[in-house]
Amino acid sequence: MLPFYAVAQQNPVLSLDTVLQRIDRNNLMLQSYGLKAESYKHSASAATAWMAPMVGVGTFMTPYPGQTIMDDGDKGAVMFQLEQDIPNPAKLNANRRYIESKAKVENESRGVTLNEYKAQAKRLYFTWLIAQQKIKVLQQNEQIMQTMKKIEEIRYPFNRSKLSSVYQTTAKLEENRNMIRMQEGEIARARAWLNGLMNRPGNADLEIDSTYQPVFVPAAIIDTANLAIARNDIKKMDYNIESMQLNIEAMKKQSKPDFRLRFDHMSPLAKMMPKAFSVMGMVSIPIAPWSSKMYKSEVKGMELEVQAMGKEKAAMLQETQGMLYGMQFEIQSMQKRIAAMEEKIIPTLQKTLDVGFLNYRENKMELPEVIDSWEALTMMQTDVLNEKLKLYVMIADYEKELYR
């Protein structure tokens, strides 16, 4: 059973696509947008409801106590009153359509937030990936330094080496281990953040696919029309404009009248008096100058705001187009620079270290010269990995801006 137990104890290895899918499915913040969108649908249904009827009971034309009553008809009556406001259906439907449009805005807001989370998850994933590669490089270089330390310890009793050289190799080894600890801290931080984005405990076990290699795929065509279709924030702005236009239509409907119906029933206190009723229909006059000023000014202000949002949308598309072209050229330039470092500089430094180490073992070279070659190679390998991390992050940012 031991082999099966060992397999069961392995941490789950998640690919980048799996991480992104779990964020989309499990993130609590993203779930809140769906609930908000659903709430607007119920609010829209409530917008077509009428006000509750008003019922009243009291006296009608009843004299004060102590007054002289000349006739039974002067005793007044008990009155029952029923009143109902009847809103204009055009107003209700326009307001309902406006509220329903807010649900679309919330759904696109979810897309914008999801894109932000995906870009953040990619950065963390790439940071973890590069940290693993740095640890591997540092561990390989540590073996070389350990070999040099052993050689110095063997030579020292025979006066073929200095004690300071032994201490120097010890210090370099400890410095190398500190760099490994730093990268382990980066991995722990990335693991905790990724777990949080996936709605998992921060200390949950997780491993990434160490063989993953980000690939840059430049967009075939970058024009404002394609960006308007692909970017969630542009879609959100379109829905905001649509919602604002529906709000304008709802505000224009304020010029339509509302109605009120009132029914009064009087039961006289005098026995000989007949029962009476009163039916009254009322209508508002919103076109009155002192009343129409409110909604006319609101409509004008919102129309100007819609025009401003249209200009803002055009500016965002134009700015994004230039930004994406710039990022595309920078990524391609960085790829060439990294290729040159990996194919030309690092092999040269590796050969320099190999030759120097061979001469050092044959007592043809001093330790400080070999350490210089070792540090130069380690620094260049680290620089290449740092440049790769910048490249991967730039690819994530490029994809974020392309589908934001």
| Domains within the chain, CATH numbers bracketed | 10-60+75-402 (1.20.1600.10)
Q: What is the pLDDT of residue 192?
A: 93
Instruction: List the one residue out of 189, 208, 161 whose CA is nearest residue 22.
Output: 208
Q: What is the pLDDT of residue 10?
A: 64
Instruction: List the one residue out of 373, 390, 294, 377 whose CA is nearest residue 338.
Output: 390
CA-based Rg of the chain, rounded to a whole angstrom? 39
Predicted TM-score (pTM) of this structure: 0.82
Q: What is the pLDDT of residue 7?
A: 45
∠ CA 358-364-365, nearest 5°, is 80
Instruction: List the one residue out of 153, 173, 174, 177 whose CA is nearest residue 164.
Output: 153
Give me the tens of pLDDT residue by residue for the chain, a chain 404 residues long.
555 444 445 678 889 999 999 999 999 999 998 888 889 888 888 888 888 899 999 988 888 887 777 777 778 889 999 999 988 888 889 989 989 888 888 888 888 899 999 999 999 999 999 999 999 999 988 888 888 777 777 666 656 556 666 777 788 888 889 999 999 999 999 999 999 999 998 888 889 998 888 888 887 777 788 888 888 888 888 899 999 999 888 888 888 888 999 999 998 888 778 888 899 999 888 887 777 778 788 888 888 989 998 998 889 888 888 888 898 999 999 999 999 998 999 999 989 888 888 887 877 777 788 888 888 888 999 999 999 999 999 999 998 888 76
Instruction: List the one residue out of 84, 122, 124 whose CA is nearest residue 280.
Output: 84
Residues 298 and 314: their CA atoms lie apart, in Å, by: 25
Q: What are phi and psi of 124, to 5 degrees?
A: -65, -40
Q: What is the pLDDT of residue 151?
A: 74
Q: What is the pLDDT of residue 364?
A: 76
Angle, helix 289-340 to helix 232-252, in steps of 10 degrees: 180
Going by DSSP bridges, is the β-strand pair 13-14/207-208 parallel, antiparallel, or unpaired?
parallel
